[in-house]
Amino acid sequence: MRLKYPIIITACLGLFLLLPSLPEQMSLTSVFRVTEEPAVIVRGTSGSALTVNISFGDVEVEQWIQELSKPYPLLFLDMDWVERFPATVKLITEKNIPVGLLGVQGDAYEQNTSLFPSQLERFETVFGMKPLWFRTIDEVFPSSLHTMLWKAEVNALGSSIVWRGGASPPVSEGEIISIPHHRDDRIVFSQLQKLYKDRTFTTVEEMLFNTTVKVKKIPE
């Protein structure tokens, strides 16, 4: 009997210490803010992260998705594209590839205040959750848009460099590389091998969590 009480006390103490950390860990899987005030994240401090903006493409995108291996890039998806190609979107979700919401040109959100809420609702309908990341197609974030992002607890993610093919850019620690894949502005996916030859990619989350991020303040 005497041995039983110390064991019970030890077990209860361990559970008591563990419980406070559980809600925090669970919340990170659903929603988080990387910055303490409205700002656009443009780079981390170490490593390299690859992001791809997709608003166009059928067979070539599906084939590229099939061939992708971890660590996966962060895919920013245009909702019109998402709704046109549900089979490719299903493949993305089955492979658990991280996705963000790709918006239109930044100034459109000043002209139409209902645009972002509508895009957000469409994203949640398809993916069953809010996006952790949002990017306008031109990486312009007006202050009114950023206010909406902040209230929705969605992070604004820009990039350090937009790469459209050609020579591979020099490696820069903390870089966030953006690759466009649109009707009139896209690369051949095989060209991405140039980037993989001289850098090791990590996920955006791994690069930014527990590090100092560099941001671009939103003008008033």
Where along the chain do its domains lie? Answer: 32-217
Q: Domain 32-217 is of which CATH architecture? A: Alpha-Beta Barrel (3.20)
pLDDT of residue 9: 32
- How large a percentage of the chain has pLDDT more than 90? 71
Instruction: Tell me whether strands 201-202 and 48-54 are parallel, antiparallel or unpaired.
Output: parallel
pLDDT of residue 34: 57
pLDDT of residue 208: 81
With tokens 């031109």, the residue in question is: 138
Calculate the dihedral angle through the C-alpha atoms of 119, 123, 128, 132, rounding to the nearest 10 degrees.
Answer: -90
To the question of pTM greater than 0.95 for the whole model, the response is no
Task: Identify any residues that bridge with 51 across adjacent strands, giving them in sequence order.
Answer: 74, 178
> Residue 182 — pLDDT band, cuts 50, 70, 90?
very high
- Residue 43 burial (CB < 10 Å; 0-12/13-18/19+)? buried
Phi, psi of 212 (to 5 degrees): -90, 125
User: Rounded distance, CA 197 to CA 192, Å?
Assistant: 9
pLDDT of residue 24: 33
Q: What is the mean pLDDT of residues 177-195?
A: 94
In Å, what is the CA distance from 130 to each residue of 34, 70, 155? Answer: 15, 23, 11
pLDDT of residue 36: 59
189 within 8 A of 219, measured Cβ to Cβ: no
Q: What is the mean pLDDT of residues 16-43?
A: 50
Strands (E), the chain: 39-43, 48-54, 74-78, 99-102, 133-135, 155-157, 161-162, 175-182, 185-186, 201-202, 214-217
